[in-house]
C-alpha cells in the first residue's frame, strides 16, 4: 500500500530542471510539510514551500525540486503547521483572524519601482512593507529585487502583494482583491469602510490591514 501511494504521489509532481521564473517563496526556507489527496487516508511528508509569484507548490526530494501538478485532487496541504486548501481554484492559507476564519491566496507580482541611471544615480518609488506570513509576522521590504538591464539604465523591480481574500458574511462567501471589490459588494457599508481606510491609511496590499478592513465590514453587518 505504501509503495502504491508513493507511486501515486510522485506521479502528481514533475521535476523542475530550471524554474520558469524566479520564485518568491512564502516561507524563508523549505519546511516540513504534508499533502493529502482525495481518496487517501494518509499523506506523504516532505520538505515543501510555496512559490507565491508562480502560484506553485514545490517540494524537494533527493536533491531535486518538484512541482505539484494535480492540485485539483488535493484535499489539504500543511506546511510548518499552517493549513492550505483550495478555494475558487486558488491555493489559500486557512487562518483564524480575531476569532474568525478567513482564507488568503498569497500572490506576489513584479512592479517597476525605479531605475538606476548610467552614472549610478537611483530614482526609486516608495515600497510598503509586505507581510508574507501572518503567523511568523515577518516583514519583507526591499528583498528579492529584480534587475532588468537596459541600454542606458537598470530597471528596479520590487515584489508587491496581489492577494485574494475569501470570507463569509451573511451566510454567503465573498472574495476580494481590491477595496473597490468590497465597496461594490457592500454599497450600504461602503461610506463607513472608506472612512476607516482614509483614517487608518489601510491598503489591501498589506494582509493585516486587509483582514482588519474585512473584520470591520463584518462587524457593520452584524450591528
Span 133-168, pLDDT tens digits? 444 333 333 333 333 334 444 555 566 788 999 999
- Give the number of domains in the chain: 3
Do 68 and 7 lie in a common domain?
yes
Report helix, strand or coil for 126: coil
- 202 and 138 in a single domain? The answer is no
Give percent of the chain with pLDDT exceeding 70.
65
- Domain presence at residue 89: no
Distance, in Å, from the CA atom of 179 to the CA atom of 194, rounded to the nearest integer, reads 9
pLDDT given for residue 93 in this prediction: 93
Q: 208: domain range? A: 169-222
Residue 215 lies in a domain: yes
The answer to whether residues 157 and 113 touch, using CB atoms and an 8 Å cutoff, is yes
Highest mean pLDDT pick, 94-98, 116-120, 182-186: 182-186
Average pLDDT for the chain: 74
Min mean pLDDT across 97-101, 104-108, 125-129 is at: 125-129
Query: Domain boundary residue among 80, 97, 124?
Result: 80
**88 in a domain, yes or no?**
no
Report pLDDT for 132. Answer: 39
33 CB contacts (<8 Å, ≥6 apart)? Answer: 45, 46, 47, 48, 59, 77, 78, 79, 80
**Whether residue 130 has pLDDT greater than 60:** no
pLDDT of residue 137: 38
Contacts of 114 (CB under 8 A, 6+ apart): 122, 123, 124, 125, 155, 156
Q: Quick check: 211 pLDDT over 60?
A: yes
Task: Say if 100 falls within a structural domain.
Answer: no
pLDDT at 182 over 60: yes
C-alpha grid cell for residue 56?
506553485
C-alpha cell at 76: 489539504
Is residue 8 domain-shared with residue 57, that is, in the same domain? Answer: yes
pTM of the complete model beyond 0.85: no
Assigned C-alpha cell, 144: 528579492
Residue 26 has a CB neighbour count (10 Å cut-off) of 23
In this prediction, residues 96-118 reach a mean pLDDT of 74
Q: 192 pLDDT exceeds 90?
A: yes
Work out the end-to-end distance of the chain between its first and last CA atoms, rounded to an integer number of angstroms: 54
Residue 97 pLDDT grade (very low, low, confident, very high; cuts 50, 70, 90) = confident
Same domain, residue pair 8 and 75:
yes
Q: Which of 63, 80, 97 is the last residue of a domain?
A: 80
CB 139 within 8 A of CB 61: no
Amino acid at each position: 500500500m505504501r509503495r502504491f501511494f508513493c507511486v501515486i504521489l510522485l506521479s502528481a509532481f514533475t521535476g523542475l530542471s530550471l524554474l520558469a521564473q524566479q520564485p518568491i517563496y512564502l516561507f524563508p526556507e523549505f519546511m516540513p510539510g504534508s499533502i493529502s489527496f482525495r481518496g487517501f487516508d494518509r499523506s506523504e511528508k516532505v520538505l515543501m514551500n510555496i512559490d507565491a509569484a508562480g502560484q506553485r507548490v514545490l517540494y524537494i526530494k533527493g536533491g531535486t525540486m518538484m512541482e505539484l501538478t494535480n492540485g485539483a485532487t488535493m484535499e489539504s496541504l500543511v506546511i510548518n503547521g499552517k493549513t492550505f486548501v483550495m478555494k475558487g481554484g486558488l491555493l489559500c492559507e486557512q487562518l483564524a483572524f480575531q476569532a474568525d476564519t478567513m482564507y488568503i491566496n498569497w500572490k506576489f507580482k513584479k512592479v517597476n519601482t525605479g531605475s538606476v541611471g548610467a552614472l549610478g544615480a537611483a530614482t526609486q518609488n516608495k515600497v510598503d512593507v509586505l507581510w508574507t506570513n501572518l503567523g511568523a509576522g515577518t516583514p519583507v521590504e526591499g528583498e528579492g529585487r529584480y534587475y532588468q538591464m537596459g541600454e542606458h539604465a537598470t530597471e528596479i523591480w520590487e515584489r508587491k502583494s496581489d492577494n485574494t481574500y475569501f470570507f463569509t458574511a451573511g451566510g454567503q462567501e465573498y472574495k476580494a482583491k481590491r477595496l473597490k471589490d468590497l465597496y461594490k459588494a457592500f454599497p450600504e457599508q461602503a461610506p463607513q469602510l472608506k472612512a476607516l481606510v482614509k483614517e487608518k491609511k489601510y491598503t489591501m496590499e498589506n494582509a493585516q490591514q486587509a483582514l482588519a478592513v474585512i473584520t470591520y465590514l463584518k462587524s457593520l453587518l452584524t450591528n
